[in-house]
Every structure is written in C-alpha cells, then in structure tokens.
Amino acid sequence: MAAPSLLNWRRVSSFTGPVPRARHGHRAVAIRELMIIFGGGNEGIADELHVYNTATNQWFLPAVRGDIPPGCAAHGFVCDGTRILVFGGMVEYGRYSNELYELQASRWLWKKVKPHPPPSGLPPCPRLGHSFSLYGNKCYLFGGLANESEDSNNNVPRYLNDFYELELQHGSGVVGWSIPVTKGVVPSPRESHTAVIYCKKDSGSPKMYVFGGMCGARLDDLWQLDLETMSWSKPETKGTVPLPRSLHTASVIGNKMYIFGGWVPHKGENTETSPHDCEWRCTSSFSYLNLDTTEWTTLVSDSQEDKKNSRPRPRAGHCAVAIGTRLYFWSGRDGYKKALNSQVCCKDLWYLDTEKPPAPSQVQLIKATTNSFHVKWDEVSTVEGYLLQLSTDLPYQAASSDSSAAPNMQGVRMDPHRQGSNNIIPNSINDTINSTKTEQPATKETSMKNKPDVKALMDSNAILYPSLASNASNHNSHVVDMLRKNEGPHTSANVGVLSSCLDVRTVIPETSVSSTVCSTQTMVTQQTIKTESSSTNGAVVKDETSLTTFSTKSEVDETYALPATKISRVETHATATPFSKETPSNPVATVKAGERQWCDVGIFKNNTALVSQFYLLPKGKQSISKVGNADVPDYSLLKKQDLVPGTGYRFRVAAINGCGIGPFSKISEFKTCIPGFPGAPSAVRISKNVEGIHLSWEPPTSPSGNILEYSAYLAIRTAQIQDNPSQLVFMRIYCGLKTSCIVTAGQLANAHIDYTSRPAIVFRISAKNEKGYGPATQVRWLQGNNKKAPLN
C-alpha cells in the first residue's frame, strides 16, 4: 500500500441514472463490478435496492419482485455468489427485526426464508448493529443491540455478545441456525462493530476478526475466533491501534483489513477515565491490519487535516465495498449538528486503489495487415488505462542507452467513469496451414454459450494520451454472425445453428515465396462476461499425402452471452506466434548492451488497439511532460516509426490505476503480413442432419484473388494423440470449391474429443488462392461434459 501522502483518493463524478438519496446505516455488497446497496435511513428508513455499475459509472434501480422486505437499517447483508442475504436491522424507531430474506440477484427475486431454530436454545432475537459474515456455506452472526422493552416507543437497550451459525443450502435457501460451543473468553457485548473472515492462502484455518463497536462507550479491541476450533482469543498486535470507534467499516483485500471512518473520541479526550462522558466526532482516519502479522499501519491519521478536499470527509454509518483491489465508499453521516438538531448525510462516492493492478493477459492478435496489428488483451478490473509497448529486432533509429522505455506513472490521474462501458471485442486472428513446414504458434480460443440479451457491442477505445494506435471503431472491421434459427428439411429436430465469431490461428509458414500471410477480421455481437486462461494443445494435420505439426503454448478462453435458443455449441480457436517469457514487473526499463529496447505504442483507456506506428525514444534524455501526478513522455516530442511488412514485433501491456503502473504481461510476438494470400473463412455454422452434421462457412472477406479451393480438417483419434493429448492429428475431410460439406456419422465416430478445456470436436477450414493456403479457422464444437458419441 502506498504511503499516506501518496494515497490517490478519487471522487466519482458525472455518473448517470437515479442516484439514491444520502443516508447512513445502509449496507453494500459487490457482485463482480456491481455495488449493491440496501436500506439505511435519513428522514425515514429506505426500502429501495440501488445498484451502481463501477464499470459504466451508472446507477440503476432494478425491478425487484417476490417477498420484498421492508426497509431496514444497521442490518446484516452478505453476498454468496449472486444471492444476497439480509438479516435483522431496525425497521422503524425502537422496533428491530430478526427476519431473514434472500435476494437472487440474477433475477432480482426476493424470498423470505425461515431457517430451522437451533437444536437447543432460541433463535436470534430481533436486533440491529450486529455483524453478519459469510464463509463457505455458513453465515456467522455476532452481537448487536436489542430492545428489552415490548413498547417500541420505550427503548431499553441491551447489548449482545451471542454467537450463531447459519447453514446455507447450495444456490438457494437455508438449513437452520445453530449455537456453536466456543472456547476461551468471549468478547464483551457490543453493537456497530465490524467482523471479517480471513484464511491464509497456503495454510491455516479461517478466522473471524471482530474490531471495535459500542457498549455505552466506543471500543478499540481486536478479537479473533478460529472457526475450526471455535476458540476466541485476543491477538497481540504491533503498530498504532486505531482510536476506539463504532459505525466504521472493515474491508478485506488480500491479507489486509482496511478500517475507515466511524465515531471516535474528540482530540484530547481520555476515553479510559470518562468513556461515557466524553464528546465524540466522526473521523476520516484510515488504517489497515496485516492479518498475517497482526500489525497495524496508519494511512490517514485523525490529526491529518484535509484542506483541499482530496479525500472523503469524516463520516460514520457509511458503506464500503471491495471490488478487486479497489475500495468504494458511499454516503454516511458526518456528525450531529446541535444547532440544527439533526444529522447531515454525505452524498459523495469515492474510491481508492489499494495496490498496483495485476499483469494483464498476453496481448492477443485480432488482425494483422502488411503495416498494422489490431490487438487486444483481457480486461483488468478497476483500472484506469493500459500502457502498450512493443519491441522489434529491426535497426533502432533513435535508441537511447539510458532512457526509460516506460514512464514512471505513480498516481496517473484518469477518470474511468467518463469512458463508458469497457466491452471486449471478440477476435479474428490469422492462421496459415501449410502442407510442408510451419513455425510454432500460441493458441487462443473463444467459446460461446447461449445467454439472453444479445447486444452489438464494439469498444471505441479512446486513447487517454496521444498515441499512434487508431480508434478501434475506425478500423476496417465488421460485425458478423448473429445467431439464426435453422430448420432445414434435413434436420431431424428443431436444431438451432450457431454462426460463430471466428478466431483463427496465425501460423507463420516458411516457404520460398513468403513468410507471412494477411488475414481478415470478423467480430461477433456478444458481450464478454467471463475470461479464463489455460494451457493449449498442439496439432498435427494429416491427409492422404502429408503431415504438418502445430505446437501451441498459450490459450485464452472467453464466454459470450448469446440469445436463448437451441443451438449447436461451437467454440472457435485462435493462434498467435509464441512467446511466453515473463517480463519484469518494473515498467521502467533501462537499456543495456544486448537488452531488448521497448517503445511505447500509447496509453489506452480500453483493452484494444490498432497499432500502425510506435514512438522512438530520443537520443539522450527523454522529454517529459506532467500529466496529473505522474511524469510521462511528451509523445508530441517523440519521433514515430511505421510498422514494416513481413516483420516480427513483440508486445507487452501493463495496467494502470491510482497506485501506478502494474507489472507487464507475458510477451506475445506477431508478424506483419505480406500481401497476396487469402484471408480466413468466416461465419462457420454447424447443424445436425440425417447423415451426420452439416459444416458451412462464408468465403474470406479478403480473398486476394480467386479462391481455388477450400480444405476442411477434422481432429481424429490416434495412438499418438492418446500418448500426447496436446498433439492433435487432423485428417482432411473435404477439398473443393463449395463453402459447405457433410461430415458423416462414420467420420465423426473417429473424431477426437479434446478435453484440454471444455470437451469439443475440433475442425479447421482454410482457403487457397494462386499463392497458396491462407489462415485457417479452427472451430471447437462443444460436446458437453460427458464422453458420449458426438451425435448423441
């Protein structure tokens, strides 16, 4: 975490949608990039459910239905996947609740649930200000404040230190309450405390940490409960313990518990001598506890004044949510105004990056031309931009012996909430099948599944600082392959057909004529909802006359949301030239003799770029300009260099947030094209028929002459592939001018089921013109999770 003076708090502005009214005593959880807020009070208890999309900077009110709970404040609020549980809280002054509600956020459906009471003892009494923490399939309830009086207008407070365990059913519903038998000294009764659960990655049992709270006076004690042994203890801590407080927030990111805000004693007050009589105030102090070492670190002390409004003002009863490594804070009250006989609630939304972002995925190729690359990489959540760099073995025109290849961008100020949505464009990548010799590529796969609500999405990727990468929306690209229903006369059932986004491999052939081919680009209209990485398979192409080997080293799978329809599931495959060497995490690269020289392509808001030029480092000292708090190159003063046809370039990318530039990705290497070869076939469709399956495709969008023939290949079972599953063997099943073929049931019976990611049958299709075969479209036809025959 950065030193206190280097914290880069950001106040979110220019959001859209219905902003909830300011409040305190509300609660918030995160589901992916969504911050979901419920309850709280300010001139009445709030009963709406509000959602803030941190990626699009948009507030919205979902249309909830079902057993909608009454508004409540100081309640328990936890998230388990896409379901949220609400327990207890104040429903009106002096009247507290012990009811439990479940929200299925995927459908915005509320349901009142009734857990079984404990086998021995009573269920939890109505309460507010309790902690409600989730770990695994259990929620843990501790403490709170009850009203001893049956008359809600006559409030007789009773502080609690009881402890309950609530077992959840998988997906939906609960089993019931239990009262675990604990060992050791139990923490004193309290309310408005915090409780988090943390488990070390490598070893150790999960532990619940309770901090602070109120019991007539504010508390500053830390308690630990081992959830395996159910033993309470007070861990010894190092560093400066935060002041006693209540109505603060505690959030875990990594191995740190971040404490922000709350009610604390006034400066100079001695809480030990007169805890009930001292004056209290709100604070904006900010500390964290390292949960591995139990050492406190103060990031913002109570004595630090903020005259520039550069961080959130003091508050209590606010909410805090961790999304990735970023902390969001919203609303809360800033104190009791005696002159107004009321409290004032904050209306602001802030966030803070707690550490530098992780390395993005390797740069992936969408399209190569003779003098440009269209590239992308997987999004990194809660970042403000990306620094893209390249290097080449070409003679360097303006190399510097001691200049930085990447700027020191500590605290670069950008506002991601002005950029709109960050949508990933599915790719089309070149692949050349040559029947004699190939170089080793690295592979990328894109998988598609049927989901509702398709939108045609393409990211404009505005560039934050001057760079030579063009706006992706201006690239010569087109949106293709909507899902269509196909009920042909040969279908034995109502079989939907998937017109897939084709991500095709780039394999660089070595022939006497050329070393690279040019490709087309295709894109699909689905919105990316998930990315994951895995290892890839190699491939051997086999027909009547020749064998060709394809070795692969990296793979990225993506899932796209498609319309709900009955389809044949198709997954497409893409490959780029291999390079998987880790690069240093330090973005400042001092060039020494024999080391690679990295040059900036630019700084981008989103995760795609069209690269046709790059910036050369000047001789001598690099020109610098000030952007926000960071020193970055003044790109207007740097020389530019065009990409050269038939040349290899290495790429790496790093993400940027309020803490600076994170580590660079692994290196990818691509070659620019030499004109003349045909592009990749596109719009591959697979449907079942009485003979087997019908495989069809569209001609390349850039044929570069007359198409002489197409070849289709099927990965087949062999002894070689059983010994080495990563080495696929392909048999040619079609060669001709038609853009479709029948794959018979007999041929499919010999198909290899590839289990390197999701089970699939693998096809390849390529086109040939006068110069030879161009890029091949590799398609993975998903088969589900069983090992049945493909047509079953």
**Tens of pLDDT along 78-111?**
999 999 999 999 999 889 999 999 999 999 999 9
Q: Which range (588-597, 685-694, 777-786) has the least confidence?
A: 588-597
* pLDDT given at position 443: 33
Give yes or no: residues 232 and 341 share one domain: yes
Higher model confidence: residue 151 or residue 263? 263
Judge contact between 2 and 658, C-beta under 8 A.
no
* pLDDT given at position 342: 62
Rounded distance, CA 407 to CA 467, Å?
A: 14
Structural domain tally of the chain?
3
Q: Which range (21-25, 285-289, 536-540) has the least confidence?
A: 536-540
Q: What is the mean pLDDT of the chain?
A: 74
Confidence of residue 395 (pLDDT cuts 50, 70, 90): low
| pLDDT of 349 over the 90 cut | yes
Where a domain ends, among 624, 651, 674?
674
Q: Which range (186-200, 392-406, 489-503) has the least confidence?
A: 489-503
Give yes or no: residues 658 and 698 share one domain: no
Which 3 state secondary structure label does DSSP give 43? Answer: coil
* pLDDT given at position 291: 96
| pLDDT of 764 over the 80 cut | yes
* pLDDT given at position 777: 79
* pLDDT given at position 478: 24
Query: Does a structural domain hold residue 457?
Result: no
Confidence of residue 670 (pLDDT cuts 50, 70, 90): confident
**Interval 696-710: pLDDT, tens:** 999 987 788 999 999
Higher model confidence: residue 501 or residue 751? 751
| pLDDT of 63 over the 90 cut | yes
Burial class (CB in 10 A: 0-12, 13-18, 19+), 179: middle
In angstroms, the Cα distances linking 249 to 63, 121, 211, 234, 268 are 28, 31, 10, 20, 24
Query: Does a structural domain hold residue 550?
Result: no
| pLDDT of 58 over the 70 cut | yes
Which CATH number is 90's domain given? 2.120.10.80
| pLDDT of 69 over the 60 cut | yes
Give yes or no: residues 262 and 362 share one domain: no
Kindly state the average pLDDT of the residues 332-351.
Answer: 77
Give yes or no: residues 763 and 650 share one domain: no
Kindly state the average pLDDT of the residues 507-514.
Answer: 29
* pLDDT given at position 700: 85
* pLDDT given at position 756: 66
Query: Does a structural domain hold residue 756?
Result: yes
Q: What does the DSSP assignment read for 505-545?
A: ----B--SS-S-------B--PEEEEEEEE---EEEEE-SS
Give yes or no: residues 70 and 103 share one domain: yes
Give yes or no: residues 118 and 241 share one domain: yes
Query: Does a structural domain hold residue 624?
Result: no
Which helix (H) or strand (E) segment holds residue 198: the answer is strand 194-198
SS3 content of the chain, % helix, strand, coil (to 5): 5, 45, 50
Give yes or no: residues 666 and 701 share one domain: no
* pLDDT given at position 779: 85
Rounded distance, CA 748 to CA 731, Å?
A: 11
DSSP state of 748: H
Give yes or no: residues 231 and 154 share one domain: yes
Query: Does a structural domain hold residue 742?
Result: yes
Rounded distance, CA 482 to CA 500, Å?
A: 8
| pLDDT of 113 over the 80 cut | yes
* pLDDT given at position 155: 85
Higher model confidence: residue 540 or residue 72? 72
Give yes or no: residues 663 and 718 share one domain: no
Domain that holds residue 703: 685-782
Give yes or no: residues 184 and 303 share one domain: yes
| pLDDT of 266 over the 70 cut | yes
Where a domain ends, among 299, 324, 353?
353
Where a domain ends, among 649, 674, 699?
674
* pLDDT given at position 367: 74
Which CATH number is 750's domain given? 2.60.40.10
* pLDDT given at position 147: 93
Give yes or no: residues 342 and 384 share one domain: no
Query: Does a structural domain hold residue 454?
Result: no
- When mean pLDDT is compared over 393-407, 528-542, 667-681, the highest value belongs to 667-681
Give yes or no: residues 307 and 360 share one domain: no
Query: Does a structural domain hold residue 479?
Result: no
Query: Does a structural domain hold residue 519?
Result: no
